[in-house]
Structure 1
Amino acid sequence: MNRYRTWGTGVSLGLAVLLTATACSGGSQGTSVKPDSGKSGDGSANLKIMWWGPDTRHKATLAALDIYTKQKPNIKFTPEYLAWDGYWSKLTTLAASKSMTDVLQMDGAYIQDYASRGTLEDLSDIDLKGIVDPKIIDNSKINGKLYGIPLGHNGQGMAYNKTDLEAAGVKLPPKNWTWEDYFAFAKEGRAKLPKGKYPIGDPSNVWDNYQYYQTAKGKGPIMIDGKKFNLNKELWYEYQNMFAQFRKDGTVPPPDVTKAFVDNDPKGDSMASGTVMTKGVTVASVSVMEQLLPGKIGLVTIPTGPSGGGWAQSTLFLSVSSTSKYKKEAKEFIRWFITDKEAGKALGTSRGIPINNEIYKELEPNLQPTDIISRKLLDTVIEKALPFYPAPTGWSEWVQAYQAEMEAVWFGKKSLDDAYKTIETMGKEVETKLTNAK
């Protein structure tokens, strides 16, 4: 399931799908990290561990596990690594049978769901003082408890094609630009860019792209506390009418062109293909755009408002199963995972910018341009960033309906008023259902 969106393209982008583009779904083949049958309580343990990611992450993690076993021979691992879809499909089955792995990688969009079902152990007793910023820890807590140890920094901003914009004489996005700046940029770009090139994409079909507008304006997220439906009608119409006008006058690509974009494909990507000048990127994904357009990328925040804009916080965690026989050993391992310098070198930036700044400093002298740009994006967005507001459990059908309704508007099959009625009615129904659920 896709969780994040490429802001400014109107095309859904699962960040983890991006990160797993080259992923393989395998087990522990080719690694010296082997299972053992240690018993909890005698100092030995066989920790089952599971994660998703690309091949580079798999190899880096296996190397780190090997280091840990060499440092602590009584601890062995049974690793399993999969692509994004396979990971969550298997984890759902494991959770239902109460047989989740001892240690598991967890995502910011789903951790609240798994925690609420009692499948994750509270990790608040792990000492992270001087290791992880207390603000990050606080932002990661769920009902006052810590169910995942953050692994890397993340955040949302925008990349723009600096080279092509300068060639066309379009004023570049200013630091911490506002929504007013953004719309002015779009209009100037329409007037100056060659035919077939567009200053911005059309993100109006995806709910959380609109949410950036609403939160920046100080009206809060669309889903409050996981249950309350909070779609601001006035702002929604304001936003949607602006993009309707942009579609009419050619400021954004036509709907059929937008639908045909293929994220991160050299020829099919909205920005890499040279079609759209701006694109939403995350700290964890911006390196891909740098690879596709080396030296051409500029960075800026998501357009801001009185409350800020975009988000910045950790979205990738290591968690412990509540049914694990090796909770103590698992917690010790996770703390080691983000503090040991040898492990830090092995892991590198395979999970983004390390959450532990001391580890990052060790890596910094040898970082590649694709790694450096990730840090640059984080530094760019952090000042105005808001919290990360994913769709809570129970809202998936509404999310899908939102996109279907807005695409019907795109292609003239439905009026904006009718789409709003459907979106609002369904949102209130979900709120009622979740509020009344036991």
Structure 2
Amino acid sequence: MNMRRMSLVSLLLALLFAITACSGGGKGSGSGKTLSIMWWGPDERHEATKKALDLYTQQHPDVKFKPEYMAWDAYWQKLPTLAASKTITDVLQMDAAYLQEYVSRGQLEDLSDIDLTGIVDPGVLENLKIGGKLYGIPLSQNAQGIAFNKEDLAKYGIPLPHKDWTYDEFFQWAKDARAKLPEGKYPIGDTTTWDGFNYYQTAMGKPPIMADGGKTFTLDKDLFMKFYQTYEQFRKDKIVPPADQAASFLENDPQADPMASGVVMTRGATTGSVSALEQLMPGKVGVVNMPTGPAGGGWAQSTIFLSVSANSKNKEEAKNFVKWFVTDKDAGKTLGLTRGIPINPEIYKELEPNLEAKDKLGKEIYDQSVDKALPFYSPAPGFTEWVDAYKKEMDAVTFGQQSLEQAFDKIDKLGKELAAKAGS
């Protein structure tokens, strides 16, 4: 009789244990995992992200987080150390400027098996892939476009820029606008940075200046001379500001911003940056996509991602989390615009009724740019020196200190040397 009672007690305990194990997991996987995660940003982003992590744990009680967050500079100082010791967090925020570098180091997990149908535009998704694989889940809509002073353009009888204008139309528009503007005002600004020309080179169907992690360097001389000879003539014709004035511009400064100060009618802007310009000149800012060529023009994609460490011991749970991060509507409301316009259109619809004009302008840049967009090209690892040299040599051209031919030779020579170094 005692044996029967003991057997019955054992059976009841086993059943109780099984029921407890099944009921404790909620939506989670029942594995009792702790995911480490790190990101950079301002305090507003930190607070919103911590709330989102709490929300995930509420929905998945068996998953907890070990968060780490810091400012931009501290983040990129710490990450290389973690990479060297293979101790990068399970989930990490990644920037487009560094994505390829960490992929080349073998530090990031392939996330191609995460289904993003209906969340990310297929063309954008294809542009994000490296070697046919996806290494970061895009978090926000971002794009490069051009902002313009629609109030002043209307005042001087100048047609507003139109979507999908070509480079030829852009240059002609600048010439026509110059004829209607008073002295001291200019239709467009000068350009001396590498990305300004890279937009043109890729729009014309040529490869980007840097590719294959810096192993391939292509600076098309014919296009280079044609592009910058146009601007050389524009300086003579006062279509762009003189070099000394251009050097004094400071974007988003009320007095020194080229456009907010009323000196230049247009300037480059991204989805993320145009809001600051709108705050400086409320109601006066219009936006249009970058000029295009046969291959398209500009870029429209996320530049901020969540990635998973290739050395993570919790890869599947990490993948579940990063997909949740861009699909859960409650998470979307919690995160708001702390990482820009949400990549998920459904979440954007939820937020849109409460957005300010400055935020809607950013969305308009993306919407205008996405159908013609080319990939976002960041400087290759090891090319910081070249990027600085490019601007230095082109600034010297604008001040009449050297010829275009001399600048090209120096820029091209250094680029090829760095590419050879990367290849070896």
Structure 1 length as normaliser, TM-score? 0.85
For residue 198 of structure 1, report the CA deviation from its aligned partner.
1.6
Q: CA deviation at 1:80?
A: 2.7
1:405 counterpart = 2:387: no
User: Equivalent residue of 1:76, what SS?
Assistant: strand
CA deviations over 1:326-347 (Å, ceiling 9, x no partner): 3232222111111111101111
Q: Which has the larger share of helix?
A: 2
> What corresponds to 2:294 in structure 1?
306
Describe the SS at the equivalent of 1:80.
strand
Indicate the residue corresponding to 1:164 in structure 2: 152
AA paired with 1:188? D
Q: What is the aligned partner in structure 1 of residue 203 from structure 2?
A: 216
Structure 1 367/193 Cα, relative in aligned 2: closer, same or farther at 3 Å? same
1:374 aligned to 2:385?
no
- Give me the whole-angstrom Cα distance separating, in 1, the residues matched to 2:422 and 2:266: 37
Aligned to 1:192: 180
Give 1:162 shift: 0.4
Q: Describe the shift of the 1:195–1:141 C-alpha distance in structure 2 as closer, same or farther (beyond 3 A).
A: same
1:239 positional shift: 1.1
Structure 1 position 388, deviation (Å): 1.7
Task: Report how many residues are paired.
Answer: 395
The amino acid across from 2:377 in the alignment is Y
2:4 equivalent in structure 1 = none
Deviation digits for residues 153-206 of structure 1, max 9, x if unmatched?
221111100001111222221232121222222223333223332211111x11
Where does residue 265 of structure 2 map in the other structure? 277
Partner residue of 2:90 out of 96, 102, 108: 102
What TM-score, normalized by structure 2, do the two folds share? 0.87
- Deviation (angstroms), 1:116: 0.9
Cα distance 1:383–1:130, how it changes in 2: closer, same or farther (>3 A)?
Answer: closer
Structure 1, 217-226 or 103-112: larger mean CA deviation: 217-226
Work out which of the residue numbers 43, 46, 49 in structure 1 matches 2:34.
46
CA contact (8 A) 2:30 2:62 kept: no
Corresponding letter in the other structure for 1:209: G
Query: Match for 1:257 among 233, 239, 245?
Result: 245
For residues 151 and 225 of structure 2, the distance between their equivalents in structure 1, rounded to whole angstroms, comes to 34
Q: Which amino acid aligns with 1:210?
A: F
Contact 2:53 2:65 (8 Å CA) reproduced: yes
CA distance in 1, matches of 2:202, 2:124: 20
Matched-pair identity in %: 60
In structure 2, do the counterparts of structure 1 residues 49 and 111 end up closer, same or farther at CA, with 3 Å as the change threshold?
A: same
- Does residue 140 (structure 1) correspond to residue 155 (structure 2)? The answer is no
RMSD value, Cα: 2.0
Matches of 2:157 and 2:43, distance apart in 1: 41
1:328-386 Cα shifts (integer Å, max 9, x gaps): 32222111111111101111222222222222222223222222222211121123222
Distance 2:185 2:318 in 1: 52
Q: 1:430 aligns with which of 404, 418, 422?
A: 418
Consecutive unaligned residues of structure 1, counting only runs of 5 or more, are 1-40
Listed one character per residue, the Cα deviations across residues 382-419 of structure 1 (whole Å, up to 9, x for unaligned) are 23222222222232222221111111222232222211
- Superposed CA offset, 1:192-239 (max 9, x none): 223332211111x11110111122222232224342222111111111
Deviation (angstroms), 1:319: 0.6
Q: Compared with structure 1, are the counterparts of its residues 300 and 137 closer, same or farther at alpha carbon in structure 2 (3 Å cutoff)?
A: closer
2:201 corresponds to 1:202: no
294-303 or 135-144, which moves further after superposition?
135-144
